[in-house]
Structure 1
Amino acid sequence: MPSLILVRHASTPAMRAARFPAGERADPAGLARAAGLAGTLPEGRWFTAPEPAARETAEALAPGRAEVVPELAVADPGRWRGLPYADVALAEPDALRRWREDPAQAPPGGESDAEMARRVAAWLEKWRATAAEPAVACCDAGPIRAALGHVLGLTGAGAFDLAPLSLTELSATPAGWRVRRVNHRPEPGAASVVKREA
Structure 2
Amino acid sequence: MKAVRLTLVCHALTHAQKTGCLPRPEDGILALEQPPVSAGPAVQVLSAPERRACETAAFLSAQARVEPALADCDLGCWQGLSLKQLQAAHPQALSEWLENPDSTPHGGESFAQLCQRVAVWLAAFDTPGEWLAVTHPMVIRAVLVQLLGCPMSAHQRIDVLPLSRLELSFAGQWRLRLG
Same fold (TM over 0.5): yes
Q: 2:30 aligns with which of 27, 30, 36?
A: 27
Q: Using the aligned pairs only, state the percent identity.
A: 36
8 Å CA contact 1:6, 1:136 repeated in 2? yes
CA distance in 2 between partners of 1:159 and 1:170 (Å): 20
Which residue is equivalent to 1:47?
A: 46
8 Å CA contact 2:49, 2:70 repeated in 1? yes
Which residue is equivalent to 2:142?
A: 146
8 Å CA contact 1:42, 1:135 repeated in 2? no
8 Å CA contact 2:45, 2:60 repeated in 1? no
Which residue is equivalent to 1:6?
A: 8
How many residue pairs are counted as aligned between the two chains? Answer: 174
1:33 shift after superposition: 2.6
1:17 shift after superposition: 0.6
TM-score w.r.t. length of structure 1: 0.83
1:42 shift after superposition: 7.3
8 Å CA contact 2:12, 2:30 repeated in 1? yes
Q: 1:15 aligns with which of 14, 17, 25?
A: 17
Deviates more, 1:157-166 or 1:45-54: 157-166
CA distance in 2 between partners of 1:119 and 1:33 (Å): 32
8 Å CA contact 2:48, 2:54 repeated in 1? yes
CA distance in 2 between partners of 1:37 and 1:60 (Å): 8
Which residue is equivalent to 2:67?
A: 69
Q: Does the residue aligned with 1:134 lie in a helix, a strand or coil?
A: strand
TM-score w.r.t. length of structure 2: 0.91
Q: Does the residue aligned with 2:129 lie in a helix, a strand or coil?
A: coil
1:163 shift after superposition: 1.1
Deviations 1:69-100 (A, max 9, x none): 11111111111110000110110011001100
Which residue is equivalent to 1:166?
A: 164
8 Å CA contact 1:42, 1:134 repeated in 2? no
One-letter amino acid of the structure 1 residue matched with residue 29 of structure 2: A
Structure 1 regions of 5+ residues with no counterpart?
A: 182-194
Structure 2 regions of 5+ residues with no counterpart?
A: none
CA distance in 1 between partners of 2:171 and 2:104 (Å): 33
CA distance in 1 between partners of 2:82 and 2:47 (Å): 26
Root-mean-square deviation (CA, aligned residues, Å) is 1.5
One-letter amino acid of the structure 2 residue matched with residue 163 of structure 1: L
Over 4 Å off, 4+ runs: none
**Are 1:106 and 2:109 matched, yes or no?**
no
Which residue is equivalent to 2:174?
A: 177
One-letter amino acid of the structure 2 residue matched with residue 25 of structure 1: G
One-letter amino acid of the structure 2 residue matched with residue 26 of structure 1: I
